[in-house]
Amino acid sequence: MVNSGSSANLLIIDSLIRSSIAQSSLQAGDEIIVPGLSWPTTAWPIAQLGLVPVFVDVDPATLAIDLNSAKSVLGPKTRGLFLIHALGRAADVSSYLEFCARNGLEFIEDCCESLGAYSSASHVGTESRAASFSFYFSHHISTIEGGMVVTSDARLADEFRGLRAHGWIRDRSDRDEWIDRNPTLDSRFLFASVGYNVRPTEIQGAIGNVQLQRLDQMLFARDSLARAVNGWLETNAPWLELIGRETLAAAAPSDRSGRTNSWMTLPLRLRSDAPVSRDDVARHFERCRVETRPIIAGNLSRHPAVQLIDHRVAGSMTTCDSLLSDTFMIGCHPILSTGSLTTLEAAITSLSEF
Ligand SMILES: Cc1ncc(COP(=O)(O)O)c(C=O)c1O
């Protein structure tokens, strides 16, 4: 566990650049493919650590990296792909694994928005070199601020334990070997890697343990809300579609590994036959006291911060570019009062008046 999902991403990239025990797989100047629909701190650690993010377009159905777009940016310096499972939707991990294997790329996953989602019966984040999770309070479980790095590589796990706490050896499983190799140094203060301090507190850990016990229940509630909203939309405003609605049929809330979407929010897209604009619909929701937000930040590569870093962008970013004009999202809270549900239902049923 670490103090945020952003820190988890930072440790993942760092661990692959400056390994204390194994051959490093990444070095300065290497390019990592990231989706244009990206949370900033998925892309920033890549740039902060001297690598180059290459922004590619996303698939309109899954909102995850479009592999044709990823293919179009492959070059001699491409070394990795950082997949984001967006807004709870598990992307098809096998196709990314295959793409990375074929092109000699590190495959890493940002699952900060998708705790509880499964791809082909494997929990997201379990098939790659390493993956991140966030427990920030709007996510599936909350430790107020908090995050997690997972890997099935024991050496990488030791790297994370060191990087999390100043580079200290004391949480590492190979601690005794470091002590034996450095007999002149005080074993209590022995540093093996160039670390950070991104530790969570015991209080965050305690909150997380309790939250974990409620995860299934909260995922079930999110799924039920998504089903209700989808039904209201289909009846009253078929021109406004819940992105990912096709996963509702497949989701089997009683069977964890059947859950392909853990619905972090409810992303909505206006069809081309919509009678009104995206902004009109968003204003309607706001007037009905239902908050709306853009889908993450639209196309991150268009944000001013990106001009400050070395980066590349795929030639076509059609889907990412359309996000701010065609889509928006509303919340998907697992605990809604009857009053909130009525407010939401009224906002959606009254769309039929457009
Ligand atoms: C895809 C993604 N990655 C990383 C993060 C960062 O997580 P945190 O807010 O815990 O730093 C977020 C946060 O919302 C996110 O959505």
Q: pLDDT (tens digit, 9 = 90+) per residue, 179-219?
A: 999 999 999 999 999 999 999 999 999 999 999 999 999 99
pLDDT of residue 23: 86
pLDDT of residue 320: 98
Which strands form 240-242's sheet, in the order they lie side by side?
A: 240-242, 265-270, 327-331, 292-293
CA of 275 to the centre of ligand 1 (A): 34
Mean pLDDT computed over 322-339: 95
| CATH 3.60.20.40 assigned to 5-210 | no
Please say whether the beta carbons of 336 and 222 come within 8 A: no
pLDDT of 1 > 90? The answer is yes
For ligand 1, is residue 63 a contact (CB within 6 Å)? no
For ligand 1, is residue 109 a contact (CB within 6 Å)? no
For ligand 1, is residue 263 a contact (CB within 6 Å)? no
d(CA 317, CA 36): 8
Mutate to test the pocket of ligand 1, among 10, 113, 263, 332 (most ligand atoms within 8 A of CB): 113
Residues in the chain: 354
For ligand 1, is residue 88 a contact (CB within 6 Å)? no
Q: What superfamily does domain 215-300+311-353 belong to in CATH?
A: Aspartate Aminotransferase, domain 1 (3.90.1150.10)
CA of 147 to the centre of ligand 1 (A): 9
If you ran DSSP here, which 8-state letter would residue 350 be given? G
Mutate to test the pocket of ligand 1, among 46, 112, 144 (most ligand atoms within 8 A of CB): 112
For ligand 1, is residue 42 a contact (CB within 6 Å)? yes
- So where are the chain's domains? 5-210, 215-300+311-353
| Closest ligand 1 atom, residue 134 Cα | 10
pLDDT of residue 263: 97
Residue with tokens 């001013």: 304
Three-state SS string over 181-235 comes to HCCCCCHHHCECCCCCECCCCHHHHHHHHHHHHCHHHHHHHHHHHHHHHHHHHHH
pLDDT of residue 22: 86
pLDDT of 17 > 70? The answer is yes
Q: How many percent of the chain have pLDDT more than 90?
A: 95
Confidence of residue 32 (pLDDT cuts 50, 70, 90): very high
| Secondary structure E strands in the chain | 31-35, 52-56, 78-84, 106-110, 118-119, 122-123, 130-134, 147-150, 240-242, 265-270, 292-293, 312-313, 327-331
CA of 111 to the centre of ligand 1 (A): 9
pLDDT of 253 > 90? The answer is no
Comparing 5-210 with 215-300+311-353, is the CATH topology the same? Answer: no
CA of 278 to the centre of ligand 1 (A): 26
Which tokens in the block code for residue 352? 């039929």
CA 11-50-103 angle, to 5 degrees, is 80
d(CA 63, CA 57): 9
Confidence of residue 249 (pLDDT cuts 50, 70, 90): confident
Mean pLDDT computed over 288-307: 97
| Closest ligand 1 atom, residue 9 Cα | 4
For ligand 1, is residue 39 a contact (CB within 6 Å)? yes
Please return the burial class of 178, using the count of CB atoms within 10 Å of its CB with bins 0-12, 13-18 and 19+.
buried
d(CA 129, CA 112): 16
pLDDT of residue 251: 58
For ligand 1, is residue 41 a contact (CB within 6 Å)? yes
CA of 173 to the centre of ligand 1 (A): 28
Which tokens in the block code for residue 25? 């797989």
pLDDT of residue 273: 96
pLDDT of 340 > 80? The answer is yes
| Closest ligand 1 atom, residue 146 Cα | 10
pLDDT of residue 255: 82
Q: How many percent of the chain have pLDDT more than 70?
A: 99
d(CA 25, CA 146): 27
Q: pLDDT (tens digit, 9 = 90+) per residue, 82-115?
A: 999 999 999 999 999 999 999 999 999 999 999 9
CA of 8 to the centre of ligand 1 (A): 9
d(CA 97, CA 83): 10
Please, what is the average pLDDT of the chain?
96
Which tokens in the block code for residue 35? 């989706």
Q: pLDDT (tens digit, 9 = 90+) per residue, 121-147?
A: 999 999 999 999 999 999 999 999 999
